[in-house]
């Protein structure tokens, strides 16, 4: 601050402070105002409202009751477990499938450019549209998937109506939709690996498998950590696809924290759902910060 | 927009002057915005009313906006009321949901309007708060019970069941004949609640003070045997395998089609579905009959009734007199005639002087006797108590899919109810 006030004339460049910040402080104010109005103010307001019983018309301060209620919520434990399952399954599959697709799409195959765009295309489609489409495809009796299976004499399961299966069906659709992004990140990571390593490996007589396992995999670790972080956070706060496909159902079988929070909001428990958002924020921080630190540390040891 | 608002204000104030001068039948002028839910019937009815009203008052401009129903709709109504952006006139539930939109703060009282003289007291009681009446009936009264497919009943020689046992016996025969006995449509989760909600006549028959005790946190679904029966009935039907194969993915519209065309024999539903049948499968309207959800004893057989949605006027409307006049038109015999014309008859009207057409569909004529006799009907719980837990539909989907039993579902619902009671700030919770 003091450095910027000193910088009255642009000619004074002697002190280090001025070199660090060549612009006056008020240059930051537009951004600061936007950030304060749109981010800081709502964040602190929501911290306050999470401590109240709020009807939108008036708010009564009730201390930590909302958090106690939210954590007592019978569906919440299920929602918590589901959230973690969903995040692990989707990010795991995206890493494995994305890497395999990227390896395939960086090798010399026919119609490579076309296949790359085919893989990436679902990323561009609206999530809700994808959700509705797959809900129709996964209809237990009239859906195209089960009708296709019926041709081979297989009775397909109720993809979205079987309580044990619904969450995984949604996760699979999430992978179908999101794997294109993981593939692109991996393609960028793979082409950045210098050819020299592969030549050296070939001279040493490495098999293609050894090439992949000892050269490709370790050297695309930055891409892997990006994919894991992005898809894991995405999986933790997932909402749109689940809501479009099952609304957390059947019953509470595919509820995640985000859908539990939304249902509280829908029911008019505004204070309670705000408290839920604070819980979700803490959960993401608790899971993702150590994960990122772990991934970055490994990267440093390369 | 500002110009129309200004004109509306001028129109309204002139009207005020004229009214005080006694010129009640004066023509209205100005601009009116209306928010209505997106049910095909609601839209058709509101559009017909708007047209008829504009024909009488050529200087009035009316805009109809459509909102989703269910929880999404609750959100929109609450948010728009809270931000002062509500349409002049809007339709919304009566009963417990009406209490949750803070009527005394957000709505214009209609207690002293002349049209209220013709509105039934039972309706007024579910749109009143703090001693003022805020609504006018948007539709006829409804019943919650079981639709049945008449051709299937004739083919198998079945009788209308008077007890739950008879109902289950009928279901057995229908299943044995290779047909779907009970239609369930869990893609629209709210439809899962009917077995429990329409059982309330039977609850009151055994525990007349259940509603008061429930509101006061003294009676619980899990501990009252009569109230628990509704949960058990759903479980029994599910365990017997009476449901359609795609019950988890079928929608309300599917259910309406199935009951009318005979793809299923029974569909527990509110009688507003009659309008949907008339709209979507009119050729089969006469194939559908209706009976109340039977209890355990044939001696007490009656219908659980629902008060219709209501139309309200937002407190901060720019043209209160025009809005009130339009609402009065809706709640007049003339308004009922317009409705009959637009969507047909679906049940008894709540307004004096309103009459049903001579040729009502069989499902309506099956329902009317319950409304005529004393002690043949009782209001649903949501009209006797402001407390209704929001997760009932999901809990009942769990019972219907067999992932939770009736007793634990009832206990879970009691827990859900506590939140709503606390949110409403009721004493004793």
Does B14 reside within a domain? yes
A61 vs B: CB within 8 A: no
Task: Tell whether the torsion through CA atoms of A102, A106, A107 and A110 is positive or negative.
Answer: positive
pLDDT tens by residue, A108-135? 888 888 999 999 999 999 999 999 999 9
Q: What per-residue confidence (pLDDT) applies to B168?
A: 95
Let me know whether B297 and B277 are in one domain: yes
The residue written with tokens 């948007």 in the block is: B138
Q: What is the C-alpha separation between B223 and B232, in angstroms, rounded? A: 13
A155 vs B: CB within 8 A: no
- Provide the angle, in degrees to the nearest 10, between the axes of the packed helices A144-151 and A127-137: 40
Let me know whether A23 and A82 are in one domain: no
Helix (H) or strand (E) holding B62: strand B59-67
Which tokens belong to A177?
A: 């939709």
B2 vs A: CB within 8 A: no
More reliable by pLDDT, B396 or B276: B396
Q: Which of A233-237, A263-267, B137-141, B371-375 has the lowest mean pLDDT?
A: B371-375
- Give mean pLDDT, residues B361-365: 90
Contact between residue B94 and residue B311 where contact means Cβ atoms under 8 Å apart: no
Pairs of CB atoms within 8 A across A/B: 91
Q: What per-residue confidence (pLDDT) applies to A11?
A: 45
Q: Are strands B132-133 and B128-129 parallel, antiparallel or unpaired?
A: antiparallel
Q: What per-residue confidence (pLDDT) applies to B13?
A: 46
Let me know whether A142 and A21 are in one domain: no
Let me know whether B285 and B329 are in one domain: no
Let me know whether B33 and B179 are in one domain: no
A 10 A CB-CB count for B209 gives: 11
Let me know whether B99 and B124 are in one domain: yes
Shortest CA gap B71–chain A (Å)? 5
pLDDT tens by residue, B293-330? 999 888 888 999 999 999 999 999 999 999 999 999 99
Q: What per-residue confidence (pLDDT) applies to B75?
A: 83
B401 vs A: CB within 8 A: yes
For residues B343, B344, B350, B353, the Cα torsion angle rounded to the nearest 10 degrees is: 120
Q: Which residues of B touch A139 (CB under 8 A)?
A: 246, 249
Does A204 reside within a domain? yes
Q: What per-residue confidence (pLDDT) applies to A298?
A: 58
Let me know whether B197 and B295 are in one domain: yes
Contacts of B364 (CB under 8 A, 6+ apart): B271, B274, B290, B345, B346, B347, B356
State which residues form the domain around A13: 2-49
B209 vs A: CB within 8 A: no
Nearest chain B Cα to A74, which residue? B412
| Confidence grade of residue B134 (pLDDT, cut at 50, 70, 90) | very high
End-to-end Cα, chain A, rounded Å:
40
How many Å separate Cα A193 from the centre of its chain? 26
Residue B422 has its nearest CB partner, among A53, A162, A163, at A53
Shortest CA gap A59–chain B (Å)? 10
Q: What is the C-alpha separation between A262 and A238, in angstroms, rounded? A: 12
Q: Which residues of A touch B189 (CB under 8 A)?
A: 247, 249
Helices (H), chain A: 2-6, 16-20, 29-35, 41-49, 65-72, 74-106, 112-124, 127-137, 144-151, 166-191, 195-203, 208-210, 217-219, 221-236, 240-245, 257-266, 270-300
Q: What is the C-alpha separation between A63 and A83, in angstroms, rounded? A: 27
Let me know whether A76 and A45 are in one domain: no
Residue B113: HSE in the Cβ half-sphere, 13 Å Cα cutoff? 29
Q: What is the C-alpha separation between B152 and B146, in angstroms, rounded? A: 14
Interchain contact, A250 vs B403, CB within 8 Å: yes
State which residues form the domain around B85: 2-139+308-343
Please give the tally of structural domains in chain B: 2
Let me know whether A91 and A150 are in one domain: yes
Rg (alpha carbons) of chain B, rounded to whole number: 22
Let me know whether A97 and A244 are in one domain: yes
A244 vs B: CB within 8 A: no
Which CATH number characterizes residue A229's domain?
Answer: 1.10.3720.10
Let me know whether A151 and A73 are in one domain: yes
| Confidence grade of residue A299 (pLDDT, cut at 50, 70, 90) | low
Q: Which of A1-10, A204-213, B323-332 has the lowest mean pLDDT?
A: A1-10
Let me know whether B275 and B321 are in one domain: no
Which tokens belong to A237?
A: 């706060």
Let me know whether B50 and B113 are in one domain: yes
Average pLDDT, chain A: 85
A252 vs B: CB within 8 A: yes
- Give mean pLDDT, residues B162-179: 94
Interchain contact, B397 vs A268, CB within 8 Å: no
B397 vs A: CB within 8 A: yes
Interchain contact, B249 vs A265, CB within 8 Å: no
Contacts of B412 (CB under 8 A, 6+ apart): A74, B391, B395, B404
Contact between residue A7 and residue A18 where contact means Cβ atoms under 8 Å apart: yes
Q: Which residues of B touch A247 (CB under 8 A)?
A: 189
Let me know whether B289 and B329 are in one domain: no
Residue B332 scores a pLDDT above 90: yes
Does A54 reside within a domain? no
Shortest CA gap A231–chain B (Å)? 29
Q: By C-alpha distance, which of B15, B32, B20, B26 is closest to B318? A: B32
Instruction: Give the whole-number percent of chain B exceeding pLDDT 90.
Output: 61
B412 vs A: CB within 8 A: yes
Nearest chain B Cα to A252, which residue? B394
DSSP state, residue B56? H
Helix (H) or strand (E) holding B278: helix B273-280
Let me know whether A135 and A252 are in one domain: yes
Q: Does the predicted interface ipTM exceed a cut of 0.90?
A: no
Does A139 reside within a domain? yes
Does B47 reside within a domain? yes
A 10 A CB-CB count for B305 gives: 28
Q: Which of residues 198-227 of A touch B (CB under 8 A)?
A: none
Residue A140 has its nearest CB partner, among B71, B248, B423, at B248
pLDDT tens by residue, B182-203? 999 998 888 999 999 999 999 9
Q: By C-alpha distance, which of B233, B217, B136, B128 is closest to B182? A: B233
Shortest CA gap A74–chain B (Å)? 8
Let me know whether A24 and A78 are in one domain: no
Q: Are strands B303-306 and B310-313 parallel, antiparallel or unpaired?
A: unpaired
Let me know whether B282 and B323 are in one domain: no
Residue B82 has its nearest CB partner, among A57, A158, A161, at A57
Q: What per-residue confidence (pLDDT) applies to B10?
A: 45
Contacts of A50 (CB under 8 A, 6+ apart): A66, A67, A271, A274, A275, A277, A278
pLDDT tens by residue, B269-297? 999 899 889 888 989 999 999 999 999 88
Please give the tally of structural domains in chain A: 2
- Give mean pLDDT, residues B111-134: 91
Does B418 reside within a domain? yes
Does A237 reside within a domain? yes
Does B247 reside within a domain? yes
Top residue of A136, A164, A268 to mutate, by most chain B CBs within 10 Å, is A268
Let me know whether A146 and A239 are in one domain: yes
Residue B71 has its nearest CB partner, among A53, A160, A266, at A266
- Give mean pLDDT, residues A271-290: 86
Residue B370: HSE in the Cβ half-sphere, 13 Å Cα cutoff? 29
Contact between residue B294 and residue B163 where contact means Cβ atoms under 8 Å apart: yes
Average pLDDT, chain B: 88
Interchain contact, B246 vs A161, CB within 8 Å: yes
Nearest chain B Cα to A269, which residue? B423
Which CATH number characterizes residue B284's domain?
Answer: 3.40.190.10
Helix (H) or strand (E) holding B92: strand B89-92
Shortest CA gap A57–chain B (Å)? 6
Does B356 reside within a domain? no
pLDDT tens by residue, A87-113? 999 999 999 999 999 999 988 888 888
Does B353 reside within a domain? no
Nearest chain B Cα to A135, which residue? B249
Q: Which residues of B touch A145 (CB under 8 A)?
A: none
pTM (predicted TM-score): 0.80
Top residue of A66, A251, A259 to mutate, by most chain B CBs within 10 Å, is A251
pLDDT tens by residue, B247-274? 988 999 999 999 999 999 999 999 989 9
Residue A18 scores a pLDDT above 70: no
Let me know whether B224 and B335 are in one domain: no
Let me know whether B232 and B121 are in one domain: no
Q: Are strands B89-92 and B310-313 parallel, antiparallel or unpaired?
A: antiparallel
Let me know whether A154 and A255 are in one domain: yes
Instruction: Give the whole-number percent of chain B exceeding pLDDT 70.
Output: 93
Does B360 reside within a domain? no
Q: Which residues of A touch B71 (CB under 8 A)?
A: 263, 266-267
Interchain contact, B423 vs A158, CB within 8 Å: no
B13 vs A: CB within 8 A: no
Let me know whether A164 and A32 are in one domain: no
Does A56 reside within a domain? no
Contact between residue B49 and residue B69 where contact means Cβ atoms under 8 Å apart: no
Does B26 reside within a domain? yes
Q: Are strands B303-306 and B377-379 parallel, antiparallel or unpaired?
A: parallel
- Give mean pLDDT, residues B52-69: 92
Does A257 reside within a domain? yes
pLDDT tens by residue, B32-57? 999 999 888 889 999 999 999 999 99
Let me know whether A125 and A266 are in one domain: yes
Q: Which residues of A touch B74 (CB under 8 A)?
A: 266-268
- Give mean pLDDT, residues A257-265: 87
Let me know whether B288 and B314 are in one domain: no
């Amino acid at each position: 601050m003091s450095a910027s006030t000193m910088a009255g004339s642009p000619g004074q460049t002697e002190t280090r402070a001025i070199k660090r910040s060549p612009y006056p402080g008020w240059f930051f104010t537009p951004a600061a105002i936007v950030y304060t109005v749109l981010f800081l103010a709502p964040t602190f307001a929501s911290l306050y409202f999470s401590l109240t019983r709020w009807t939108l018309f008036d708010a009564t301060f009730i201390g930590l009751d909302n958090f106690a209620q939210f954590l007592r919520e019978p569906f919440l434990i299920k929602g918590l477990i589901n959230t973690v399952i969903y995040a692990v399954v989707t990010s795991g599959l995206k890493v494995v499938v994305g890497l395999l697709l990227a390896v395939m799409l960086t090798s010399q195959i026919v119609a490579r450019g076309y296949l790359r765009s085919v893989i990436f295309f679902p990323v561009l489609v609206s999530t809700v549209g994808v959700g509705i489409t797959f809900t129709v495809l996964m209809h237990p009796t009239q859906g195209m998937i089960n009708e296709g299976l019926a041709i081979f004499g297989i009775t397909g399961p109720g993809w979205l109506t079987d309580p044990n299966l619904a969450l995984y069906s949604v996760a699979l659709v999430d992978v179908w939709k999101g794997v294109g992004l993981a593939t692109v990140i991996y393609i960028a990571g793979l082409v950045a690996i210098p050819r020299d390593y592969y030549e050296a490996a070939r001279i040493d007589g490495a098999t293609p498998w050894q090439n992949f396992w000892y050269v490709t995999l370790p050297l695309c670790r930055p891409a892997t950590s990006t994919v894991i972080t992005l898809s894991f956070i995405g999986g933790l706060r997932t909402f749109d696809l689940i809501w479009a496909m099952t609304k957390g159902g059947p019953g509470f079988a595919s509820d995640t924290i985000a859908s539990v929070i939304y249902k509280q909001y829908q029911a008019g428990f505004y204070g309670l759902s705000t408290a839920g958002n604070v819980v979700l924020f803490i959960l993401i921080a608790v899971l993702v910060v150590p994960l990122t630190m772990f991934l970055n540390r490994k990267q440093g040891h390369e | 927009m500002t110009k129309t608002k200004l004109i509306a204000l001028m129109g309204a104030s002139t009207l005020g002057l004229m009214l005080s001068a006694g010129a009640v039948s004066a023509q209205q002028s100005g601009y009116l915005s209306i928010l209505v839910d997106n049910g095909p019937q609601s839209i058709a009815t509101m559009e017909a009313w708007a047209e008829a009203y504009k024909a009488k008052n050529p200087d009035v401009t009316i805009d109809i906006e459509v909102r989703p129903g269910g929880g999404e709709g609750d959100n929109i109504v609450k948010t728009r009321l809270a931000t002062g952006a509500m349409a002049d006139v809007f339709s919304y539930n009566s009963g417990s949901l009406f209490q949750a939109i803070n009527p005394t703060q957000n709505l214009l009282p209609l207690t002293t309007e002349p049209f209220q003289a013709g509105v039934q007291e039972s309706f007024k009681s579910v749109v009143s708060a703090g001693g003022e009446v805020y609504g006018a009936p948007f539709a006829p009264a409804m019943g919650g019970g079981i639709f049945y497919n008449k051709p299937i009943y004739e083919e198998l020689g079945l009788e209308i069941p008077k007890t739950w046992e008879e109902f289950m016996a009928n279901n057995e025969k229908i299943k044995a004949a290779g047909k779907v006995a009970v239609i369930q449509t869990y893609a629209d989760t709210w439809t899962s609640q009917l077995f429990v909600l329409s059982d309330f006549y039977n609850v009151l028959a055994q525990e007349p003070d259940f509603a008061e005790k429930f509101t006061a946190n003294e009676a619980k679904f899990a501990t009252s045997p009569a109230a628990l029966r509704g949960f058990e009935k759903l479980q029994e039907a599910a365990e017997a395998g009476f449901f359609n194969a795609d019950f988890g993915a079928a929608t309300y519209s599917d259910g309406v089609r199935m009951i009318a065309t005979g793809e299923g024999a029974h569909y527990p539903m509110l009688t507003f579905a009659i309008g949907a049948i008339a709209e979507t499968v009119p050729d089969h309207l006469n194939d559908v009959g209706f009976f109340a959800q039977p209890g355990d004893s044939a001696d007490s057989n009656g219908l659980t009734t629902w008060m219709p949605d209501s139309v309200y006027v937002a407190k901060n409307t720019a043209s209160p007199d025009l809005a009130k006049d339009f609402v009065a038109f809706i709640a007049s015999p003339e308004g009922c005639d317009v409705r009959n014309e637009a969507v047909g008859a679906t049940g008894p009207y709540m307004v004096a002087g309103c009459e049903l057409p001579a040729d009502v569909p069989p499902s309506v004529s099956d329902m009317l006797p319950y409304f005529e006799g004393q002690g043949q009907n009782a209001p649903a719980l949501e009209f006797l108590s402001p407390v209704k837990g929001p997760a009932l539909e999901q809990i009942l989907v769990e019972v219907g899919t067999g992932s939770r039993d009736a007793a634990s579902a009832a206990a879970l619902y009691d827990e859900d109810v506590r939140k709503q009671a606390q949110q409403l700030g009721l004493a004793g919770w």
